[in-house]
Chain A
């Protein structure tokens, strides 16, 4: 049943796209910053994990944790030293700074690692599969991607609605001035948000890097998929972003099944179609 296969493939692909999108969604929700370097930062994380496994010789899981910590610090510092200076009413400076960052990272990776395709090695995990039902088995790696995405959304929801950090996030997102009056350190909240966004992106990078090969030029496409997932799902809702990622994955899988050249195009056209009929996304947050 090839139709059913396509749907499974699309849903599992959607998990990866949702992971791409979470970091983007997080900092937009809290600080209204659209990070045009998001895709290239995911790629940077993938290469850092690759370097950690090959140069340090540590297992993939350990390398991932090391890079999660490194990217969190990078995000914190990036916000404090660079982004903080350009955030404001004018949307142009932050967009231009992150666009410059995107070009810097992309070409920096090209200098450091060359243009060859790479892949993260996960041993037997890559090729093993689980049988869900008689005649229906799915790859363990893609399934893990989807499960990871669901877990990541659940964890972020928990942080947002059950911790004091989450309360500070939500308060700052609603009204930074009043949050500060209540004793929230706005600068730290923003820096932690960017750090968290990059830390989540490492998970996206690892899950993606095991599934598919990557090279320095594909960062911007990851940004576009992440963005499409966020808009299709509806702004302001993390579960919506997960659903948006799955819709995008399905669209690409179905398009690719009809004609391999149409895979990416089908995703873009679905995005434009959603924008036409449901401009607020399929599952928007109740409050704006």
Chain B
């Protein structure tokens, strides 16, 4: 029996796992009693949480600081609308296809953008997103530059909608919100668990090593270019899927909204920064803080964004690990531990 062993879990993390399962079950049955407003708010929280987790793994752990993730939200949204309007697909079936479409474009763009190192990759990804926005605005059948709506009647035959209506006794519009809510919850859980499992696997370790020192990582056999490329495509797939889910609820699309850098990247970065970069818990804390700020301050428009920008800068300067990161360091909290501890086996 070896004397040394590596531990990842902690007692707190085992309690957190049980609490997490309870929370997900509660969230899953919530539509039975919750108001439509709360469900819509929670769709926002869950989709933003998923986007934040994805950006966190890409930029935080992977070192691919993208400011162009709105590209994949927009592509997913446009692919969903194209699938429904042009191909006559069932909306629920179109969602994974939208993700695949975003992944396909990411696979094409990746090799180009990876030629830009470090910080230049950030602006390069932004340029790519702008180019894609302008291209989407060229499709007159999808509303061109002004965008288009999908009528409720087109969505009334959607897979699962009748079942939700019958189950909860709701009108079609409210039932669609519930269906989207469940999809958003499913995505948030799958993405969070997927990232957690990935970061605890040897591939996660390889990714972190590629970011910290690419040359050293290559010297111990990590294929740094490949792992980043695969991560970039996988994140684009999930981001596109989220975009499709978000726009299934909105049922109205325009290039400016679907490719908005503020809505899909600035907010997401804010969530990760304020919660704590390179932790699974950080985005969860961050999204709740953003939700609070949105509820209190959104009526002030521009001032609200000035406050968000200022807060993000102050957090970076004085609490670079974010709210969760600072708390975790102080009290040794690890709900989703990704650090490895070397200790004597008992």
Contacts and interface: CB of A to CB of B under 8 A. Distances in A.
A220 B134 contact: no
A111 B307 CA distance: 12
Given A107-B302, A224-B130, A275-B112, A100 B124 contact: no
Contact of B123 (A36, A91, A106): A36
B316 A97 contact: yes
Nearest to A280: B115
Nearest to B272: A96
A86 interface: yes
Contacts of A224: 123, 126-127, 130
A119 interface: no
A110 B309 CA distance: 14
A72 interface: no
A94 B138 CA distance: 35
A72 B120 CA distance: 24
A107 B59 CA distance: 25
B302 A34 contact: no
Interface in B107-139: 112-113, 115-116, 118-120, 122-124, 126-128, 130-131, 134-135, 137-138
B320 to A, nearest CB: 6
A223 interface: yes
A261 interface: yes
A218 to B, nearest CB: 12
Nearest to A273: B112
Contact of A261 (B112, B123, B138, B309): B138
A102 B317 CA distance: 16
Nearest to A115: B302
A197 B120 CA distance: 18
Nearest to B111: A276
Contact of B127 (A91, A104, A108, A227): A227
A104 B131 contact: no
Interface of B: 59-60, 63, 65, 67, 112-113, 115-116, 118-120, 122-124, 126-128, 130-131, 134-135, 137-138, 145, 261-262, 266, 269, 273, 277, 302-303, 305-306, 308-310, 312-313, 316-317, 320
12 contacts: A28-B119, A85-B317, A92-B277, A95-B67, A97-B312, A97-B317, A107-B305, A227-B127, A264-B130, A265-B134, A275-B112, A276-B112
Interface of A: 28, 32-34, 36, 82, 85-86, 91-97, 99-104, 106-108, 110-111, 220-221, 223-224, 227-228, 231, 261, 264-265, 268-269, 271-272, 275-276, 279
